[in-house]
Amino acid sequence: METKPFNDHSFYEFIGQQQLMGSKCEDCDTLYCPPRAFCPNCGGTNMAWHQFKGIGNLAAFTCITVCAPQMIALGYGRDNPYCVGVVHLEEGPKIDARILGVNAKKPETIKIGTKMNIQYLEAETENDTSFMGFSPVK
Amino acid sequence: MMSKRKKLGREVAIVGAGMSQFGLFPEKNSKDLFLEAFLEMRDSVDKGVDLKEVEALYLGNFTNDFFTHQAHWGPIISDIIGLAPRPATRTEGACASSALAFREGVFAIASGMYDMVLVGGVEQMSACSTEQVAEGLALGTMPYEALAGFTFPGIFGAVATAYFAAFGASREQLMGVTIKSHNNAPLNPKGQIPLTVRDLMNKKAASFKRKEMSVPSWSDERDFLRDPQVNPMVAWPMHLFDCCPISDGGSCLLLTAADMATQFTDKPLYVAGIGQGSGRGFHASPEITSFEATKYAAQEAYGMSGMSASDIQFAEVHDCFSIAEIIHTEDLGFFAPGQGGHAVNDNLTALDGIMPINTSGGLKCKGHPVGATGTAQMVELWKQLRYEAGERQIPQPDLQIGLAHNLGGTGGTCTVTILERR
Ligand SMILES: [Zn+2]
């Protein structure tokens, strides 16, 4: 695993293996998720893989009825919206993700700050890029 | 880092400005649209100009490559306006593309390289279906956003939910922006949707009646906007009337070295400050309820001009979505964080308010041909500062300083331009 480049390809490959992996700058301890090969904080390139717990708080969300093409292919649409948002991970970074286990038809019931944990998704179509999501901790 | 006051090598002025009609023109292409703006610009130069003196063109265009299957728009436009073989450079910064062209033109003159340059932008979007336009625009999101399933309205919807939670705001503030922009809209003859929300309401009622459907009894504009039948959800809490339309259009400005400006007009505008910033996309930005690229650009522009937010008398800000206008007016320092929405509902940003915002009708009503928007915002500053804005002229006797804020993509590129009449 150490030989994988710190890039998007590796990030999604790890997601496929049900691991949320980012990078940690060994020089200044800054965490990145998704990973970075270069540390904008200190200018270092001394990165190590870091596994994130996949726990965080819902920082922002939306429920989409006019859907992205790859989501229409999954059956989403005007009468079947999906939720997507930003999760603020416990370790610090924020991440874009599908939001699962909420009622996307009733966005008023979804609350910012809700504690979430990660769920890994099987690709449903060839162009399915939704990879993973977070759902409220029961 | 920003403590050093950056100045231009020499001062730059605007001596002409023009824009095409904005709207949906399937029978026109980008050449037609830009030419229309160019001819209006030519006629706006009070003392006339020999356009053979224009030394270079900087042209903003986002993604005509995708929308029209034709790239390399710099020389195409340069050819149709008779500029070739003089140099033409295309700039791309998503929806901020022509503000980048403006900046490059300013730098070209400030450097001493050129004395007169043309800057502008063009975008032709209506050749595509709505789905294709959405796909084309999605090219301007940041990595990870589109992959996770975000759309453009979705990103701004998510910004809005974070804003609502942080400041206890609601759709009521967003509706205020929509109603205000539509109040200015009929006063702009170049705009795409010259209708107030009340006009739209009456039109809808008439169409319901024509179809022999029962007409809902909306009590006022807000009641109309709350009705999902006429204002359906796009991406919570963004509804149809929170989103700007798909548009075609072109716009341009003629720039000269400041010491030459009065050869062309007794009423030039001067570039007091320009700034540009970059954003990192949602997941890496420090705050979701603010665009760091805007704050950076504003700091640079205010620093150059020696001005602060309180010196600005009116502004065109990038209201691609209603929530965006609220946040920009906070990031630019016009209102405190969390106060932007209240300012709208208190009519502070109305045409006759203390801080008029988007007198043109904004992207929401004037239209948003993405590559043309940045310089079109400056066309509005040109009209207002020279008291040529007709019915939508800001009713203040001493307008001297206006600001334009252009945002590209989901905040990846932001520019702030301060123009001054002396
Ligand atoms: Zn570091």
| Residue contact A71–B143, C-beta within 8 A | no
Name the nearest CA neighbour of B179 among B202, B203, B197. B197
Closest alpha carbon within chain A to B170: A108
pLDDT tens column, B394-405: 999 999 999 999
Residues of B in contact with A62 (CB under 8 A): 150, 153-155, 157-158, 160-161, 235-238
Q: What b/e string do you get for A105-134 counting C-beta neighbours within 10 Å, with b at 16 or more?
A: eebeebebebebbbbeeeeeeeeebbbbbb
* Confidence label for B197 from pLDDT (cuts 50, 70 and 90): very high
Contact B106, B8 (CB under 8 A): yes
Which token pair is B354?
């203390």
Q: Which of B243, B249, B194 is nearest to B379 (CA)?
A: B249
* Cβ atoms B255, B58 nearer than 8 A: no
B336-391: per-residue pLDDT in tens? 999 999 999 999 999 999 999 999 999 999 999 999 999 999 999 999 999 999 99
H-only helix segments in B57-196: 64-68, 73-80, 97-110, 130-138, 145-148, 152-167, 171-184
Nearest to B162 among A8, A112, A130 (CB): A112
Q: Give the Å distance between the CA of B189 and the centre of ligand 1.
A: 54
Residue B168: which region, alpha, beta or left (left: phi > 0; alpha: psi -120 to 50)? Answer: left
The H or E element spanning position A117 is strand A115-120
Q: Which residues contact B314 (CB under 8 A, 6 or more apart)?
A: B355, B356, B357, B359, B384, B394, B399, B402, B403
Give how far the C-alpha of residue B20 lies from the chain's centroid of Cα atoms, to the nearest Å: 14
Mean pLDDT, range B63-82, rounded to an integer: 93
Residue B71, Cβ neighbours under 10 Å: how many? 13
Q: Are B161 and A112 a contacting pair at CB < 8 A?
A: yes
- Per-residue confidence (pLDDT) for residue B1, from 0 to 100: 45
Question: Which residue has 């509005």 as its token pair?
Answer: B380
Q: Which helix (DSSP H) or strand (DSSP E) does residue B419 occupy?
A: strand B413-420
The 3-state DSSP class for residue A133 equals: strand
Residue carrying the six token digits 């001596």: B15
Read off the pLDDT of each residue in B46-63 and give the average, rounded to a whole number: 97
d(CA B410, CA A87): 17
Question: Whole-angstrom Cα distance, residue B94 to residue B96?
Answer: 5
| B263-277 pLDDT, tens digit each | 999 999 999 999 999
Quote the percentage of chain B above a pLDDT of 70.
Answer: 99
Residue A123: what pLDDT?
Answer: 80
pLDDT at residue A2 in the model: 59
Burial class of B32 by CB neighbour count within 10 A (0 to 12, 13 to 18, 19+): middle
Taken as a whole, chain B contains a residue count of 422
Q: What share of chain A is helix, strand, coil (3-state, %, to 5)?
A: 10, 35, 55
Nearest to B112 by CA among B154, B67, B62, B55: B55
Chain A positions touching B153 (Cβ under 8 A) are 62, 64, 66
More confident residue, B59 or A70: B59
CA of A58 to the centre of ligand 1 (A): 27
Distance CA B275, CA B418 (A): 9
Burial class (CB in 10 A: 0-12, 13-18, 19+), B119: buried
- Apex CA B234: angle with CA A88 and CA B183, to 5°? 110
Residue-wise pLDDT tens digits, B25-53: 999 999 999 999 999 999 999 999 999 99
Cα Rg, chain A, nearest whole Å: 16
The 3-state DSSP class for residue A20 equals coil
> Residue B142: pLDDT above 80?
no
* Statement: residue B4 has pLDDT above 70: no
Rounded Cα gap, residues B207 and B65, in angstroms: 38
Q: How many CB atoms lie within 10 A of CB B336?
A: 10
CA distance B96 to B294: 12
CB contact under 8 A, B134 and A66: yes
Q: How far is the CA of A12 from the centre of ligand 1 (A)?
A: 23
Closest CA to B241 of B302, B171, B190, B307: B171
Dist CA B359 CA B339 (whole Å): 20
Asked if B234's CB is within 8 angstroms of A66's CB, the reply is yes
Q: Say whether A64 and B145 touch across the interface (CB within 8 A).
A: no
Q: Of the given ranges (B150-154, B244-248, B284-288, B388-392), which has the lowest mean pLDDT?
A: B284-288
Please state the φ and ψ torsions of residue B178, each to the nearest 5 degrees.
-60, -45
- Number of Cβ within a 10 Å radius of residue B229: 10
> B235 and A113 in contact by Cβ < 8 A?
no
Q: What is the mean pLDDT of residues B124-140?
A: 84
Run of H or E including A50: strand A47-51
Q: Mind listing the pLDDT tens digit for each residue in B224-248? A: 999 999 999 999 999 999 999 999 9
Q: Determine the distance separating the centroid of ligand 1 and the alpha carbon of B101, expressed in angstroms.
A: 35
B37 near B252, Cβ under 8 Å? yes
Most A CBs within 10 A among B132, B152, B161, hence the mutation to make, goes to B161
CB-closest option in A82, A96, A130 to B145: A96
Cα–Cα distance, B64 to B147 (Å, whole number): 23
Which pLDDT does position B411 carry in this prediction?
92
Comparing CB atoms, the residue among B146, B158, B236 nearest residue A68 is B146
Residue A36 makes CB contacts below 8 A (sequence gap 6+) with: A6, A23, A47
Tokens (6 digits) for A97: 């993700």
A67 with A82: CB under 8 angstroms? yes
B368 is catalytic: yes
Rounded to the nearest angstrom, the minimum Cα separation between B340 and chain A is: 19
Identify the H or E element spanning A11: helix A8-16
pLDDT beneath 50: ranges in chain A: none
Strands (E), B224-324: 233-235, 238-239, 248-257, 269-278, 314-316
Tell me how far the alpha carbon of residue A121 is from its chain's centroid: 11
Active site includes B318? no
